[in-house]
Chain A
Amino acid sequence: MKKLDDTFLARWLEGGLTPEEEREFKTSKDYDDYKRIMNVVDNLKEPTFNEDKAYASVRKSTIEKVKIRKVNFNYVYGIAASILVFLGVFYMLNLNEKTYNSTFGEQLAIVLPDGSEATLNANSSLLYDERKWKEERTVELKGEAYFKVEKGSAFKVITKEGVVEVLGTQFNVNASKNFLEVKCYTGKVSVSNKSQDNIILTSGKAYRTANGINENWGFNTETIFWKKGANSFIKMPLPKVIYALENQFNIQIKQSKSYNDKRFTGRFYNNDRDLALKTVFDAMSIQYTVDGNTVKLK
C-alpha cells in the first residue's frame, strides 16, 4: 500500500522530485493550477522594512541608555496602518478580529471571551470581534463547529447560508457551499435563512438546507460523533460526506458524476482513512481507486 505523500508539493518546489514523479506530475490536471498559483506567489513581496529607522529606535532604548520605552500594545486608538493597494483593491484590517482555523484532520477547541466554547471540526474557520463581544456575541463560521453557549446576550452564528441564534444552549452547526445543518442538543436554537424566516429547534431536533431543499428530523443527543473521533451522518447528501472525508484525511476525491441525489446514513472513524473510504463507498456501491492522496470514484 502506497504511503500518504504529504510532502510531494514541497519537494516539487525545491526540485526534489524523481524524473518519473516530475513527468507524471506535469501531465496531471493539477499541475497547471499549481504552476499558475506559484507564478503569483513568486511575485509577492513583504511590506517594506526600514532597517535603519528600526535600528535607530533600538539604539535609543539600549546603547544610548535612555529609560527603556514601554511599548504600548493598546491599539484601540490606532487606525489599521497596513493598507494594501493592489491594482486598485483596498483592504481595511480590523484590529480586534480574532480568527481561528483548523486544518485537515484537526479539531480545535476555542474558549470565547465570556466562557462559551466552540470546538471546530477539520478544515473549519471561526471569526469574531473581541471588542464587540460584551454587547453582542456574534461569530462567523465556515465549516463545522459544536458550540456550548453560556447564558447571556444573544449569541449568533453567521454562515453563508443562514444565521443561527441561541440563548444558552449546546448545538452543532455545519456550514459549507449551499449547505447548512443545525442540530440542537440542549436549550433552544433559532435558524433563519433565505428560504424560511425562522425555524425553532429544541433538544434532539435538527434542520438542514441543501441546495434549496429543507428537512427537519429528530436525532439522538447522546453522542456528538465527530468530537469522539468519528463523523456520523443521517441521510446526508453524498457530496457533503465526501467533503467531510477530504477535510478529515487531507485527500482529494475526484468524482466522475455529481452524486447529488445519493444520501448516506452511517459513520466513519477518523483514525483509519482506508477503512473510512471503504465504509462510505461500499455502502453507496461506488467503486473507487486510491492513488497516494487522491481517490477517484467510478
Chain B
Amino acid sequence: MLDKDKSICKEANFHELFKQHSRTIRNYIYYKCGDNDLANDMVQEAFIKLWENCKKVKSDYALFFLKRVANNTFLNTIKHNKVVLEHQKTVKDNRDIENPEFLLEEKEFAVKVQEAIASLPEKDREVFLLNRIDKKKYAEIAEFLEISIKTVEKRMHNALKIIRKEIGNV
C-alpha cells in the first residue's frame, strides 16, 4: 500500500530526493563525459522527468529511475570531452621549498595521472571515480549501476592497471 505521505509529488519529499541524489547523478554523468554543462543539464532533466512521473515512482526506486533517465538522455547526446578533475594541493613540507625539482616532478606526475584517468574506458572510469571521489563502496556502486560486485572490482582493478601502464608509457 502506497504511503501517501511519502509521495514524490509532495514538494518536501521531492526536494529531499534532490538533496540526496542530485550530486551523485551529476558526478556519474560527469565521470562519463567530462562535460560539466551537459552533466548539470542531465541531472535537471532527470529530476524533471521524475516530477512528471511522481505518481508512478516510489521513493525507494527514485535513484534507479533518475540514473536510467540520465543515462538514456545522455546516450542520445554523446559528447566526449576530457574528464578533468581538480587537484587539491597537498600540505607543503619544507622539502618543497628546498627542492624545486622534486616539486616539479610531483606536479608532472599528477598531470600524468589525470591524463591517464581521462583516457580510461568509460565503464572503468565511472566506477573508479565513484569509489575514489564520491567515496561509494563497491556494493553501493554495484547496486547503483545494476551490475555485480565482482564486475565493479574488475573495473576498479582494470582502471588502476591502465593508469599505471599509461604513466609508464609517457
Chain A residues proximal to chain B, CB less than 8 Å: 6-11, 13-14, 30, 33-34, 36-37, 39-47, 49, 51, 54-55, 57-58, 61-63, 68, 71, 73, 75, 78, 80-82, 84, 86-87, 89, 91, 93-95, 97-99, 101-104, 125, 177, 250
Contacts and interface: CB of A to CB of B under 8 A. Distances in A.
Nearest to B115: A91
Interface in B10-64: 11, 14-15, 18-19, 22-23, 26-27, 30-31, 34-37, 40-41, 43-45, 47-48, 51-52
Chain B interface, >50% SS class: helix
B111 A75 contact: no
A104 B121 CA distance: 10
B80 interface: yes
Contact of A54 (B44, B111, B168): B44
A87 B167 contact: no
Contacts of B6: none
Contacts of A34: 160, 164
Contact of A103 (B40, B90, B111, B158): B158
A10 B156 contact: yes
B131 interface: yes
B110 interface: yes
Contact of B109 (A40, A57, A91): A40
B143 to A, nearest CB: 16
B40 A10 contact: no
Contacts of B111: 86, 89
Contacts of A80: 81
- 10 nearest interchain CB pairs? A10-B153, A10-B156, A7-B153, A62-B51, A44-B85, A93-B81, A9-B157, A84-B84, A40-B113, A10-B157
Interface of B: 11, 14-15, 18-19, 22-23, 26-27, 30-31, 34-37, 40-41, 43-45, 47-48, 51-52, 77-82, 84-90, 107, 109-111, 113-114, 117, 119-122, 124, 129, 131-134, 137-138, 150, 152-154, 156-158, 160-164, 167-169
B88 A45 contact: yes
A205 to B, nearest CB: 30
Contact of B119 (A55, A87, A98, A125): A125
Given A40-B87, A58-B44, A13 B131 contact: yes
A45 B81 contact: no
Nearest to B124: A103
B18 A58 contact: yes
Contacts of B107: 87
Contacts of B110: 40, 86-87
A101 B121 contact: yes
Contact of A95 (B81, B120, B163): B81
A104 B88 CA distance: 31
B47 to A, nearest CB: 5
A82 B81 contact: yes
A250 to B, nearest CB: 7
A55 B15 contact: yes
Contacts of B36: 47, 81-82
A6 B137 CA distance: 18
B86 A37 contact: no
A43 B119 CA distance: 19
A97 B81 contact: yes
A10 B138 contact: yes
Contacts of B164: 30, 33-34, 37
A82 B169 contact: no
B24 to A, nearest CB: 10
A214 B167 CA distance: 28
Nearest to A55: B18
B81 A6 contact: no
A49 B42 CA distance: 13
A8 B86 contact: no
Nearest to A44: B85
Nearest to A7: B153
A45 B51 contact: no
